[in-house]
Structure 1
Amino acid sequence: MGLKVAIVPVTAYQQNCSILVCEDTKKAAIVDPGGDVEKLIDALNQLGVELEKVFITHGHLDHCAIAGQLSDQFSVPIEGPHLEDDFWIQQLPSSCQAMGFPATEVFTPSRWLEGGDTVSFGNQQLEVLFCPGHTPGHVVFYHREAKLALVGDVLFQGSIGRTDFPRGNHDQLISSIKDQLWPLGDDVNFIPGHGPNSTFGEERRSNPFVSDKNYG
């Protein structure tokens, strides 16, 4: 398999930025770099890897504020999210100013993603699932061999993503979880945008928002 994952919490929101490492090639991808660029560069150096790509699940500032900076600094492409989240990316400078984040600039991904796409780095490949609801253009990355999903702010241990932001949709979010995530299997481990990891099976058993008991 050859996949290694390092989770680096970034920003005051403690967003789980993930560094995915292909152990065969020592190439890496960063998923959802919301801030703390020096901390992420230090992590890359400590891992002894070369950054190859940046992957974005959605356009909220704590998940992508420094994507453009990393892309420019390392000359690597940005892949994701879905085009429907472009309006969030366009607001990054004003959002960062309003929330006390360091100043940033709008970026344009090298590639917008859709459900059914794949992304790759080194010898690793991840499937892309389109999971709107928290934002209209949210995507999830799934590594089938590792049974690992990077779900951004779709699902958390014991909770689900907020839907009170512009163009959020609660019913759509529930459908994304039930129709896109659950079929991957109860044994899939997931890294949420915030907080501890869990498995889909555990959330189906105990998550009050999407458990089979409440949404069977």
Structure 2
Amino acid sequence: MSRCSYIERGKYMEYRRLILGPLDTNCYILYNEKSAESIVVDPAAEAEKIIDVLNEIRKTPKVVVLTHTHFDHIGALKDLKDAYKDMKILLHPLEKDMLKSQSGFARFFGIKIKEPPPADGLIDEGDVLQLGDDRLEVLYTPGHSSGSISLLNKNDRFIIVGDLLFQGSIGRTDFPGGSFEEIKRSIQKKVYSLSDDFIILSGHGEKTRVGVEKKENPFVRGETI
């Protein structure tokens, strides 16, 4: 069963977290007052729950952004695309082929998902997603997978990191395309280089802050690159 655990209202952008699917994956819906559109990040499962929130806030999804394409982050993709034909699916180029294999990968774990539709566009380091006056900067943060990305909002001081980094932990690196050295480098270079007060929104678990993880995370210490 999904849970909407919190709504955050920053100075510019609001976001809602939904905890979805059998692996309790975090899906984020980003929106603001000035735009009639929204951005959905990692539609994990239970599309009807995501659609209910979109209807409640009266925001049409402009794009879906996949931080990576593991099955527990894309389970609602097909139903969302069917519901919103004009919505664009965006991911990193190195995740494009991996997306095609995820329904089979899910079956290996005893989980069934619908065959995901192909991506509509590719995004990479340096790209910017605009939502009204708000900007989300795309960061290339490999390690959990070869094409993992993060989304940085400098104005509201948060970063969505997918399965790169968790509260007190890091993402697995034993799946295809994973690398401990890369995930460590991504965390130190792209996340720990931010100010300590930046909020980290992960693919699983609770939010945390950069300063907390630099000090307390047992897997990657607070050195920056």
- TM (normalized to structure 1)? 0.92
If each structure's helix is expressed as a fraction of its own residues, which one has the higher value?
A: 1
1:12 counterpart = 2:17:
no
What is the distance in 2 between the residues matched to 1:160 and 1:58?
Answer: 15
Q: Deviations over 1:101-158 (max 9, x none)?
A: 3431232222111111111233322000000000000000011101110000000000
Q: Deviations over 1:1-60 (max 9, x none)?
A: 431110000101110100101222242111000110011111112223222211110010
The Cα shift of 1:182 comes to 1.5
1:103 counterpart = 2:113:
yes
Q: In the alignment, which of 133, 148, 170 is matched to residue 160 of structure 1?
A: 170
Aligned partner of residue 165 in structure 1, secondary structure:
coil
1:115 counterpart = 2:125:
yes
User: What are structure 2's unaligned runs of at least 5 residues?
Assistant: 1-10
Give the 5 Å matches for 1:46-65: 46-65=56-75
Asked if the contact 1:96/1:104 (under 8 Å) is kept, the reply is no
User: What are structure 1's unaligned runs of at least 5 residues?
Assistant: none
Q: Percent identity?
A: 31
What is the distance in 1 between the residues matched to 2:113 and 2:162?
Answer: 23
What is the distance in 2 between the residues matched to 1:175 and 1:151?
Answer: 14
Matching residue of 1:211: 221
Aligned partner of residue 106 in structure 2, secondary structure:
helix
What is the distance in 1 between the residues matched to 2:33 and 2:111?
Answer: 33
What is the distance in 2 between the residues matched to 1:59 and 1:159?
Answer: 20
The Cα shift of 1:73 comes to 1.7
What is the distance in 1 between the residues matched to 2:136 and 2:15?
Answer: 13
The Cα shift of 1:208 comes to 0.7
Change (3 A) 1:8 1:211: same
Matching residue of 1:176: 186
The Cα shift of 1:210 comes to 1.3
1:78 counterpart = 2:89:
yes
What is the distance in 2 between the residues matched to 1:13 and 1:187?
Answer: 28
Matching residue of 1:185: 195
| Count, aligned residues | 214
Asked if the contact 1:142/1:149 (under 8 Å) is kept, the reply is yes
Matching residue of 2:13: 3
